[in-house]
Amino acid sequence: MDQLKGMRIFQAVADCKSFTQAAERLNLPKPTVTNAVQAIEQQLGVRLLQRTTRKVSLTAEGAQYLERCTALLNDLEDINGLFAGDGRLLGGAVRVELPERLAHLVVIPALPDFFRRHPGIQVRLGSGDRYADLVGEGIDCAVRGGTLRDSTLVARRLGTMEQINLASPAYLERHGRPRTLDDLQHHLAVNFFSSQTGRDMDWEYVDADGIGRTLPMRSQVSVSGTEAYIAACVAGLGLIQVPGESVMPLLAAGRLEQVLPAWRPAPMPLNIVYSHNRHLSPRVRVFVDWLISVIGQQNVSE
């Protein structure tokens, strides 16, 4: 089998974490996919994938091979699209990870405009609040909110989003409206826990000197996704803190109300990130530029 075709098959298996799903994605018989990966392993003399009845995962050698395969295949696509500016269409797939709310409210509704400009590009869009491994999963770029912890990534600052404190009318009717920070000891929060550490994040506020502070709050429910976080607040389970722009329809409909406006969290930084050892291919570059322009049309401060 052609070695490049084998690499693409291996990349699909690693991405799907399944031989069956990779075969379906590539429209190939499952034995063809299995044989291709086995042939690569035999050629290299190492096991690239750990196989169980439930899942497929990369070995350490597999992760290293995937990184090099992805770089090589990206370079090949770059070469094929080197002169796309002469009137030929850009093609290929772009893999991007976005925060769930940003994907649903901002990016997906704007995608038809992107495809009108670049009909040859396919977008594989993951949305959620997990901390994806860009290199290990072959993801081209991601938008991340908050302080960046991974110094191995290149970051382009998109701006900041103003955050607000919220409660539902049902919650306020039962528990009263907090007026001061001291009142929070008598209130409940919907806690948000990190998908990386499993730790609940504390309540945040900026004090009178402009310094960011945190304090723990009582909670009956903790969630790890933004949609669940907002839904729990609407259900009256506690107070939350989110970028104001993401909940404007709920505020306008009266399903949520702002509380403690003088004690809001610090604005949330918003960045687009990609691996430092992966130069942006033409198709990824045009998508990143488009993404920046779309997000810039929102109420994002520089």
The CATH number linked to 178 is 3.40.190.10
pLDDT single digits (tens) 101-144? 889 888 999 999 999 999 988 898 988 777 777 776 778 888 98
56 within 8 A of 37, measured Cβ to Cβ: no
Where do we find the tokens 């500016």? 85
What is the domain-level CATH number for residue 28? 1.10.10.10
d(CA 13, CA 8): 9
Q: Is 210 left (phi over 0), alpha (psi -120 to 50) or beta?
A: left
d(CA 137, CA 143): 15
Residue 293: helix, strand or coil by DSSP? helix
pLDDT single digits (tens) 204-248? 999 988 899 999 999 999 998 889 999 999 999 999 999 998 899
Task: Give the type of residue at 271.
Answer: N
Residues 152 and 276 in one domain: yes
Residues 173 and 256 in one domain: yes
pLDDT single digits (tens) 154-164? 888 888 889 99
Residues 261 and 167 in one domain: yes
Select the more confidently predicted residue: 272 or 92.
Answer: 272
Give me 12's structure tokens: 């699909």
Can you give the residue range of the structural domain that contains 10?
Answer: 1-80
Residue 189: helix, strand or coil by DSSP? strand
What pLDDT is attached to residue 17?
A: 84
Residues 152 and 189 in one domain: no
Return the H-helix or E-strand segment holding 198.
none
User: How many structural domains does the chain have?
Assistant: 3
